[in-house]
Structure 1
Amino acid sequence: WLGRAAEVRPGALDRVAASHERAVALLSRWPRSLVHGEFYASNVLVEGEGAEARVRPVDWEMAGVGPGLVDLAALTSGGWSAEERERLAADYHDAWPARLPKPGWDEFLDALDHCRLLLAVQWIGWSREWTPPAEHAHDWLGEALGLADRLSA
């Protein structure tokens, strides 16, 4: 995705490249699970409410195996408030499977930011082929640059 994104925005991703490589290396050491790959709110149908609610992810064309945090990063992108993002991340962290070593909160948030960087680069790489509807528009380049700067500090 980095190569495709660099073609779309020549020169703009130079400072992102090193952080992108670190993200790939870091996340390759995280536990693997089935990931949807595009677990954005627009790809999740919810039927019912409360304990009776049924969650139905749709659009599985990017599914694969990788760190489950990729789907959390996708779900919490977009129009969520900082408090809502934090709450979703905390709930995910609290529900960490007992059979796996649980990362500390700071390590968890760092890995989540690395996932967000990978997703931002992926969106930039798609942009030549597809433009999202206005309600899903986002400054992915700005997000990638901000995350790269924060993660390299």
Structure 2
Amino acid sequence: MSHPVQESDEILGVAELRKTLAGLFNGWGVAPDAVAYRKLWSPRVYRAQLVGDGANRSLVVKRLSPEIALRNQKVAQRWLPATGLSQMGPPLLATAAQMDGGCVWHIYEDLGDCALVDSDARDGKRRKTSGFCTPSEPCLEAERIEAAVETIAQIHGRFARHPLLAECRLYGFDLGGQFYVSAVRDAIRVLEAVRACETGMATERRESVNRLLLRIQRLQEEQPRRLQALEEFGGPETLLHGDLWPTNVMVYSQGQGYAARLVDWDHAGVGPVSYDLSDFLLHMPREDRQWIMNIYLACLEKLGCRFSPETDWNLLFETAEYARLTNSVIWPALAAFESRADWAFDQLAALDEWFGMLRPALPSPSGGQPLQP
């Protein structure tokens, strides 16, 4: 859902951006003043809609930090094209950088409101940076899911052991076993510092911090087993989207069927496929997850990528999710240590709640059990 921006000149008044947009519009025979800007779901994302004279083309304009902009540009203009997969990534048309280097604007072809789902189902809850909210359960068409899963598998399969992974890691993130190790280590260090300053801390907050610390200390104890499973069964490293919620998968009609693109590669990196898959599956209805997994593995097999039938996918998925959750603990814990900010303790309590809610992604007897306080 979009809504009008009343002062688009002030918000979009970056000379470089306006110059780039004007060049695109002129190429289409549209005057710059024949454009209506509407803010989308984020204060940094806008839709530029061409108006008048029967024009119906629109663009999506995003304001990004230079680092994130470069990562997204690498994905769209170098990494995916190197494997013949340009059509599966974000449709980047142009970029415009502020002269002072403060931000970069990316201009994309507008794919419309065609995300795989409008909200994410995750065992009845959706995780957000600021806490949790309850969405409606999505009702998904099988054909759209298949198009999305085939696209994910194509990217993972084509990039397995690819030479460009060195560059992907340099400009992105290392999302393999080392991500788990460092997140656990750093979270324990900060939580121990918070606990050491517990004088005057409310009982509820102290208990929440202690529970989180215990959970993550247990993850550290389990580290050898989890890393060994990743080494034996995780498969080759590949390019990862890094934030593979269904809302970042755009599925649109093409010919007699559907095609899909993955957008918003802000967290792209390198690691095992289980990192992306766990995020995707845990945001999908539980009853759909096993057949989604079956489609994915069948697509990979066509590309020559096979996993052992002994693979404990639930263990791999659980490891990835625990790494993400643990990494999310670090920054509010640091704020709690430095300033005793109320929001920081609220976030720690929400993360403690989510640790307790995590269950195996797939309906099979294998896989890890949720940690207990």
Task: State TM-score, norm by structure 1.
Answer: 0.69
Structure 2 unmatched runs, 5+: 1-182, 192-211, 333-342, 344-349, 361-366
Please identify which structure carries the higher helix content: 1
Task: Report the AA paired with residue 290 of structure 2.
Answer: E
Distance 2:279 2:255 in 1: 23
Tell me the SS of whatever aligns to 2:325: helix
| Residue 249 (structure 2) aligned to one of 44, 63, 80 | 44
State the match for 2:222 in structure 1.
Answer: 19
Q: Is the 8 A contact 2:216 2:326 kept in 1?
A: no
Q: Which runs of 4+ in 1 moved over 6 A?
A: none
Deviation at 1:46, TM superposition (A): 2.1
State the match for 1:102 in structure 2.
Answer: 306
Deviation at 1:99, TM superposition (A): 5.7
RMSD: 3.3
Change in Cα spacing, 1:51 to 1:5, as seen in structure 2 (3 Å) is: farther
Tell me the SS of whatever aligns to 1:65: strand
Change in Cα spacing, 1:27 to 1:51, as seen in structure 2 (3 Å) is: farther
Change in Cα spacing, 1:18 to 1:93, as seen in structure 2 (3 Å) is: farther
Q: Percent identity?
A: 21
Q: Is the 8 A contact 1:26 1:111 kept in 2?
A: no
Tell me the SS of whatever aligns to 1:53: strand
Note the 1:3-152 alignment, pairs <5 A. Answer: 3-6=185-188, 7=190, 9-29=212-232, 30-48=235-253, 52-81=257-286, 83-98=287-302, 100=304, 102-107=306-311, 110-127=312-329, 129=331, 139-142=353-356, 143=358, 148-149=368-369
Q: Is the 8 A contact 1:74 1:116 kept in 2?
A: no
Distance 2:256 2:315 in 1: 30
Distance 1:116 1:48 in 2: 34
Task: Report the AA paired with residue 327 of structure 2.
Answer: G
Distance 2:326 2:243 in 1: 14
Task: State TM-score, norm by structure 2.
Answer: 0.32
Distance 1:50 1:140 in 2: 42
State the match for 2:184 in structure 1.
Answer: 2
Please identify which structure carries the higher strand content: 2
1:50-69 deviations in whole A, cap 9, x for unaligned?
Answer: 96323222221221222223
Change in Cα spacing, 1:99 to 1:45, as seen in structure 2 (3 Å) is: closer
Distance 1:93 1:47 in 2: 23
Deviation at 1:112, TM superposition (A): 4.7
Distance 1:43 1:76 in 2: 13
State the match for 2:198 in structure 1.
Answer: none
With 93-102 and 63-72 compared, the bigger mean Cα shift is at 93-102
Change in Cα spacing, 1:50 to 1:111, as seen in structure 2 (3 Å) is: farther
Q: Is the 8 A contact 2:315 2:368 kept in 1?
A: no
Distance 1:13 1:90 in 2: 32
Deviation at 1:88, TM superposition (A): 0.9
Deviation at 1:103, TM superposition (A): 2.3
Q: Is the 8 A contact 2:274 2:320 kept in 1?
A: no
